[in-house]
Amino acid sequence: MSTRIQSLLELPRTIMNSHNPYAPPASAVGDLEEIGSEEQIDALAVSDKWKERFKAIQRAGGVKFPNLKSMPRKERRKAYRFNALAFLFGPIYYMAKGMWRKGLSLFFVCALVVVVLSIALELCGFGKFANALGYGVSAIFAMRANIDFYKKMVLHENGWW
């Protein structure tokens, strides 16, 4: 009888240790920004200019730039640079780089904000300022493009947001 009780007590442990085909996939519990390394960046199929930008972003501490202020000015500019092509072409640039999900989601969020702000500015009597909101959307695309491309190529994160 004691062996039967002992086997019943061990049953939950064996069930928990066995593979569950219906369990959600396990994810890496580390910080995604720690994954990228300079050797990994050198192995990417991108131009040398993009590799320099990616290495600068890596030295700045990743996409949140915690070490940006401690970097020399020249390195800072490489890490956090205004992308003129993304400013001019916005979602089309994102699609050309293979980041169509982020481009579409960023476009629709910005379009919604522009519509709401345009209506609010019209009601307040500042309709002329509403015309300049499109430049702000373009600036958002220009400032986010390098960071989003780093996320796609180095961190392998290419989601909707």
DSSP label at residue 28: -
Reported as a pLDDT band with limits 50, 70 and 90, residue 33 is very low
Residues 86 and 45: their CA atoms lie apart, in Å, by 20
The whole model's pTM is what? 0.74
| Residue 113 identity (one-letter amino acid) | V
Per-position DSSP letters for 57-111, written without gaps between them: HHHTTSTT-TTGGGS-HHHHHHHS---HHHHHHTHHHHHHTT-HHHHHHHHHHHH
Reference 106, options 49, 56, 144; nearest CA is 144
Looking at residue 32, its pLDDT comes to: 46
Taking the alpha carbons at both ends of the chain, their separation in whole angstroms is: 58
Domain layout of the chain by residue ranges: 36-81, 84-148
Residues 69 and 7: their CA atoms lie apart, in Å, by 61
DSSP label at residue 126: -
Looking at residue 161, its pLDDT comes to: 72
Mean pLDDT across 41-45: 91
* pLDDT tens figures, 91-147: 999 999 999 999 999 999 999 999 999 999 999 999 888 889 999 999 999 999 999
